[in-house]
């Protein structure tokens, strides 16, 4: 059954892995894109072409291959910048992933600007990537941390947020989409209020950039962190967007080749942005793959992808909620992206995921690197199905049938 005008069967032919049998006769139903997305052939081919045809180091050589590799790497930066509507490609720093992007801000901007007693405002729905860097900083600098609470229905409590802004935080750092609840947070409003209170803002876009149209200028966000591997690109590369003024004022993150203008035995002058933050040989093939991935997503259109995921998620939530003993955490489908985290009776989520796997259905189980959020809901773990542009209602049906099988086994 098609859920929208979007031709999902056509899209699926772009992803060879989706034809894979997990075991003889059992086709893969990949419902774990929140962990990492599958890659279309165009991404794999772009990386393959780099290694087969113009592999060379960048910004260093003047031979043909080095120039071709440098052009491809910088073209990828332009593509990623255009994808999030950055005003200038120099505002996009290539990192390893979202985690490194957030740490970059914590180790540079935050250590330059935050001191004892200063406040960092986070939320209770953060991934560990947007908690631990601030906990480390808090321990080192005596910086205070406060958290915007999550309500029973999986939303941020904006009333408490407004009150916490009265404490004049220096930084407000929050996720635009929860990897567990699926909640899409009201980022425009959160950022506007933070700026009115004098705070700098960081958005964890690990889940939003792959699944929603994200425009950094419309958001007016100061920093945005995201990973290529969750948006049809390769592992090993991500990005940090930062406003030019901030990036230029920040000290380098790591020292080494490429991030310098001049070096003497006892001193150096850092390079201009973005190179100031890209020490050493970067992930060149991965950047090429990242560029191919954003080309691919942009061709389909992020609004179209969002609508397809919304239709699949609506269907999945309806079907899950009809199963006795299933509890889905998070808000209604109009307030969330393509994530359905649930518990099933008293059955351990690892058992659920393992049994689903025997039917070819790949879901994740555990705390999904959001342990405090699970504690808030009084649980230690959930099973989590997540959806992307290539998922179908048939795959949801297969998951539902498998969940009924789990219930039978544990009855």
CA 406 and chain centroid, separation: 30
Of 351-370, binders to ligand C6P (CB under 6 A) are: 364, 368-369
User: What are the residues whose beta carbons fall under 8 Å from the beta carbon of 220, sequence distance 6 or more?
Assistant: 188, 191, 192, 195
Catalytic residue among 138, 335, 369, 379: 369
Check residue 98 for interaction with ligand C6P (CB under 6 A). yes
Of 213-232, binders to ligand C6P (CB under 6 A) are: 227
Given the complex with ligand C6P, which of 143 and 206 has the nearer CB atom?
Answer: 206
Given the complex with ligand C6P, which of 176 and 392 has the nearer CB atom?
Answer: 176
User: What are the residues whose beta carbons fall under 8 Å from the beta carbon of 264, sequence distance 6 or more?
Assistant: none
User: What are the residues whose beta carbons fall under 8 Å from the beta carbon of 119, sequence distance 6 or more?
Assistant: 143, 144, 145, 146, 167, 168, 169, 170
Q: Phi and psi (nearest 5°) for 232? A: 75, 5
Check residue 22 for interaction with ligand C6P (CB under 6 A). no
Q: Which helix (H) or strand (E) holds 118?
A: none
Q: Phi and psi (nearest 5°) for 82? A: -65, -35
The single residue among 70, 99, 286, 343 that binds ligand C6P, judged by CB under 6 A, is: 99
Smallest separation, CB 230 to ligand C6P (Å): 6
In the annotation, is 369 catalytic? Answer: yes
The single residue among 38, 70, 97, 103 that binds ligand C6P, judged by CB under 6 A, is: 97
Sequence length of the chain is 411
Of 291-310, binders to ligand C6P (CB under 6 A) are: none
Smallest separation, CB 389 to ligand C6P (Å): 17
Smallest separation, CB 365 to ligand C6P (Å): 11
Alpha-carbon span 209 to 30, nearest angstrom: 20
User: What are the residues whose beta carbons fall under 8 Å from the beta carbon of 223, sequence distance 6 or more?
Assistant: 101, 105, 109, 200, 201, 202, 203, 240, 241, 242, 243, 246
The single residue among 207, 382, 383, 391 that binds ligand C6P, judged by CB under 6 A, is: 207
- State the burial class of residue 272 (Cβ atoms within 10 Å of its Cβ: 0-12, 13-18, 19+): exposed
Given the complex with ligand C6P, which of 170 and 364 has the nearer CB atom?
Answer: 364
Smallest separation, CB 203 to ligand C6P (Å): 10
Of 163-192, binders to ligand C6P (CB under 6 A) are: 175, 179
Distances (CA, A) of 228 to 35, 36, 410: 12, 9, 39
Alpha-carbon span 267 to 145, nearest angstrom: 35
Given the complex with ligand C6P, which of 207 and 313 has the nearer CB atom?
Answer: 207
Smallest separation, CB 97 to ligand C6P (Å): 3
Check residue 336 for interaction with ligand C6P (CB under 6 A). no
Alpha-carbon span 250 to 153, nearest angstrom: 39
Number of residues that bind ligand C6P (CB under 6 A): 16
Active site residues: 369
**Contact positions toward ligand C6P, by CB under 6 A?**
34-35, 97-99, 127, 129, 175, 179, 204, 206-207, 227, 364, 368-369
């Amino acid at each position: 059954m098609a859920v929208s005008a979007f031709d999902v069967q056509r899209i699926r032919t772009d992803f060879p892995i989706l034809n894979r049998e997990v075991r003889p006769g059992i086709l893969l139903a990949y419902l774990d894109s929140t962990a990492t997305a599958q890659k279309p052939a165009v991404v794999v081919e772009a990386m393959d072409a780099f290694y087969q045809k113009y592999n060379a180091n960048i910004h260093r050589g003047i031979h043909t291959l080095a120039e071709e590799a440098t052009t491809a790497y910088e073209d990828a930066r332009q593509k990623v910048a255009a994808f999030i509507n950055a005003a200038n490609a120099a505002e996009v720093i290539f990192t390893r992933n979202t985690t490194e992007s957030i740490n970059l801000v914590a180790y540079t901007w935050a250590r330059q600007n935050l001191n004892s007693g200063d406040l960092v405002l986070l939320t209770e729905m953060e991934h560990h990537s947007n908690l631990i860097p601030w906990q480390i900083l808090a321990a080192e600098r005596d910086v205070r941390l406060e958290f915007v609470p999550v309500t029973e229905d999986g939303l941020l409590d904006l009333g408490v947020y407004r009150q916490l802004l009265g404490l004049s935080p220096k930084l407000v750092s929050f996720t635009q989409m929860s990897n567990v609840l699926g909640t899409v947070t009201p980022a425009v409003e959160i950022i506007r209020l933070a700026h009115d209170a004098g705070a700098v803002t960081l958005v964890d876009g690990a889940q939003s950039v792959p699944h929603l149209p994200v425009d950094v200028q419309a958001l007016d966000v100061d920093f945005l962190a995201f990973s290529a591997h969750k948006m049809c690109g390769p592992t090993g590369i991500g990005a940090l967007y930062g406003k030019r003024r901030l990036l230029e004022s920040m000290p380098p993150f790591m020292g080494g080749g490429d991030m310098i203008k001049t070096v003497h035995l006892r001193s150096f002058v850092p390079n201009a942005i973005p190179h100031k933050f890209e020490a050493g040989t970067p992930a060149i093939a991965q950047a090429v793959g990242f560029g191919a991935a954003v080309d691919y997503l942009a061709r389909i259109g992020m609004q179209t992808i969002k609508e397809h995921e919304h239709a699949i998620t609506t269907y999945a939530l309806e079907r899950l909620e009809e199963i006795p003993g299933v509890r889905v955490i998070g808000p209604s489908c109009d307030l969330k992206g393509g994530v359905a985290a649930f518990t099933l009776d008293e059955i351990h989520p690892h058992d659920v995921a393992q049994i689903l796997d025997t039917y070819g259905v790949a879901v994740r189980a555990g705390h999904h690197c959001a342990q405090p959020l699970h504690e808030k809901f009084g649980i230690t773990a959930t099973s989590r199905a997540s959806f992307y542009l290539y998922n179908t209602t048939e795959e949801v049906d297969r998951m539902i049938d498998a969940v009924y099988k789990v219930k039978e086994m544990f009855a």
